[in-house]
Amino acid sequence: MNDSDGDCAPSEANFGPWMWSAYRAYNELLREKVKKRFDAQEGPWMDKVADLLVQVVNARWEGGRKKEKELEELYGRLEQLLSE
């Protein structure tokens, strides 16, 4: 009986889960690095967009005619930010 005949012999199939984990870790690391770059370059702008989106959602939930004008103003500000 050879070592290669046993169930514990190294083969590509035995490494499958480890290779998948390695690719996943690589992709997660790359994703985190990309997120850091976006945050460094676009973070302040994205913060403004996020703040406006929260204001829009809150204005829509509160509703009523009084909020219609405020909502139009918020949409205008959001449109301006997105065109920058």
| C-alpha count within 13 angstroms, C-beta hemisphere, residue 74 | 18
pLDDT band for position 1 (cuts 50, 70, 90) = very low
Measured between alpha carbons, how far is 62 from 65 in angstroms, rounded to an integer?
10
Nearest to 55 by CA among 24, 32, 76, 25: 76
Taking only the tens place, the pLDDT of each residue in 7-48 is: 566 666 678 888 999 999 999 999 999 999 999 999 999 999
Nearest to 48 by CA among 68, 72, 77: 77
Q: What is the pLDDT of residue 75?
A: 86
pTM of whole model > 0.75?
Answer: no
